Amino acid sequence: MKKNNIDIFITGAGLAGLLASIAFSRKGFSVVCIDKIDIKNHIDNNSKSFRTTAFLEPSKKFFEEIGIWTEIKKYSCPMNSLKLVDTKLLNDHLTITASKTFSNESSDTLGWNIKNNDMIKALFEVAKKEKNISLFSNTTIEVFEINDEFVEITLSNKKQFNAKLIVGSDGRDSFIRNELNIKSTTKALGQNALTFGIQHEKSHNNISNEIYYSGGPFTTVPIKNNSDENYSSVVWMDEENATNNLMKLDKTSFEKEINKRSADILGHLKLVSEPQLWKMRTQVAKRLISFRAVIIAEAAHVLPPIGAQGFNMSINDIKCLLKKSIKNKYKLGEPRMLLSYERERLVDMNFRVSSVSLLNYFSKTDNPFLKIIRSSSIKYLFNFNPLKSTIMKLGLGSQ
Ligand SMILES: Cc1cc2nc3c(=O)[nH]c(=O)nc-3n(C[C@H](O)[C@H](O)[C@H](O)COP(=O)(O)OP(=O)(O)OC[C@H]3O[C@@H](n4cnc5c(N)ncnc54)[C@H](O)[C@@H]3O)c2cc1C
């Protein structure tokens, strides 16, 4: 069987794997990307999903740099500011006790929001047309062996490749990470996130609202719509029991709960998609590299969806790996290059993981004392509070 020599082999064609494939291809590297699922079917089956990803300004700049912003922009809704809202229960209604709006001082937008399925579709369409990318669905790795010069890979479709670098972007239960024997620190959070779409009475005005009460934030994120109607996606985090009970409700009862929990920020809400449930955990890999191998995105880090960090961090992984790969100082896949990648990414990763864990802790608290701190932070102290700088640093995606 003929073995093909390639530069980079990528396992996993989710958001991160597809984006990494395009980014490397556009810089002239030859790429093979595989996924164990049928990507086209996956896109068709998820056309009604309202799970979205908010990406921040630096991520948009990266899309511009690699020449795919036009394809992504047509599905994306600008998010001009983020409003933090604290509430308390009064006569069975959530009443706002404090709120604060943040914008990006150096740009009109803080970020953009896109349905995951639209993003995958856009990236898949671009990747299919790239002459430097070979993309295989329904395919897994049968064997891979790492030697000094390259990684020898045999696929389930019997194709064989010699790659200078293998990249694991195969998600939170990464096969590559396990095969490389890289350990992770994992913490179950006892929380789930519900995602769904809403149509609402008031305009979203391109604002994302993060509404605190207990159990986790209820976050609305504006969605691009082609009519006069107003749509947003919602990520509602709460304790496992609470979300499991919500999932059992019929549409009318569920709508009643979301209208109560949203504190009337967007007026009356109607549910426009089936709620989906996601289990929350924090998971951080102890190493990001091995010989001629690297892990990126959720294979390396998993966070609760607070402050839109997950995929934005993955874009930082890709940007960093690309920068090291095109630097004349290094040969692709050599240990010095990978060590330099790991050193840089671990610093950013650890900062974001601890910041998001802190924000999650404050956002879900039922402790009356911490609730007072949270409300006062939002109301009075944000101008000099470290929480403000953390949120802004996270929100602006700075490194
Ligand atoms: C509710 C929710 C809301 C979120 N909101 C945001 C947000 O607003 N902003 C943000 O930045 N992030 C957000 N995130 C995080 C973001 O969605 C994830 O970081 C991102 O989707 C993960 O992409 P990925 O490509 O790393 O992993 P995945 O999407 O899991 O992709 C991994 C791919 O690898 C494939 N695969 C797995 N194993 C193998 C194998 N052995 N062989 C071949 N292929 C394999 C899988 O089929 C899959 O296609 C959110 C997350 C959640 C849960």
Query: With a 6 A CB cut-off, is 94 part of the ligand 1 pocket?
Result: no
Nearest CA to ligand 1 atom 22: 298
pLDDT value at residue 367: 62
In one-letter notation, the amino acid at residue 287 is R
How do the pLDDT tens digits run along the chain, 399 residues long?
A: 667 999 999 999 999 999 999 999 999 999 999 999 999 999 999 999 999 999 988 899 999 999 999 999 999 999 999 898 889 888 889 999 888 888 877 778 889 999 999 999 999 999 999 999 999 999 999 999 999 899 999 999 999 999 999 999 999 999 999 999 999 999 888 889 999 999 999 999 999 999 988 888 899 999 988 777 899 999 999 999 999 999 999 999 999 999 999 999 999 999 999 999 999 889 999 999 999 999 999 999 998 887 777 899 999 999 999 999 998 889 999 999 999 999 999 998 988 888 877 777 666 666 665 666 656 555 554 444 555 555 555 554 444
CA dist 387 and 102 (Å) reads: 13
Residues of the chain with CATH 3.30.9.10: 72-114+190-280+364-395
Point out the ligand 1 atom lying closest to the alpha carbon of residue 39: 49
pLDDT value at residue 106: 75
pLDDT value at residue 384: 43
Burial class (CB in 10 A: 0-12, 13-18, 19+), 393: middle
Point out the ligand 1 atom lying closest to the alpha carbon of residue 54: 8
Query: With a 6 A CB cut-off, is 310 part of the ligand 1 pocket?
Result: yes
Query: With a 6 A CB cut-off, is 298 part of the ligand 1 pocket?
Result: yes
Query: With a 6 A CB cut-off, is 99 part of the ligand 1 pocket?
Result: no
Compute the residue count for the chain.
399
- CA 223 – ligand 1 centroid, Å: 20
pLDDT value at residue 43: 97
Query: Is the domain covering 3-55+116-186+282-357 a CATH 3.50.50.60 domain?
Result: yes
- CA 14 – ligand 1 centroid, Å: 6
CA dist 120 and 14 (Å) reads: 7
- CA 349 – ligand 1 centroid, Å: 16
Point out the ligand 1 atom lying closest to the alpha carbon of residue 113: 8
- CA 121 – ligand 1 centroid, Å: 14
Strand, coil or helix: what is 44? helix
pLDDT value at residue 86: 87
pLDDT value at residue 372: 61
pLDDT value at residue 328: 80
Query: With a 6 A CB cut-off, is 35 part of the ligand 1 pocket?
Result: yes
CA dist 96 and 90 (Å) reads: 10
- CA 171 – ligand 1 centroid, Å: 6
Residues of the chain with CATH 3.50.50.60: 3-55+116-186+282-357
Query: With a 6 A CB cut-off, is 208 part of the ligand 1 pocket?
Result: no
pLDDT value at residue 398: 45
CA dist 196 and 356 (Å) reads: 22
CA dist 111 and 80 (Å) reads: 7
Q: Which of 53, 142, 394 maximizes ligand 1 atoms within 8 Å of its Cβ, making it the mutation to test the pocket? A: 53
Query: Is the domain covering 72-114+190-280+364-395 a CATH 3.30.450.20 domain?
Result: no
pLDDT value at residue 255: 98
* Residues contacting residue 293 through CB under 8 Å, at least 6 positions apart: 146, 151, 165, 166, 167, 168, 176, 180, 338
pLDDT value at residue 399: 41
Instruction: Give the DSSP H/E element, type plus range, for residue 374.
Output: helix 368-379
- CA 120 – ligand 1 centroid, Å: 11
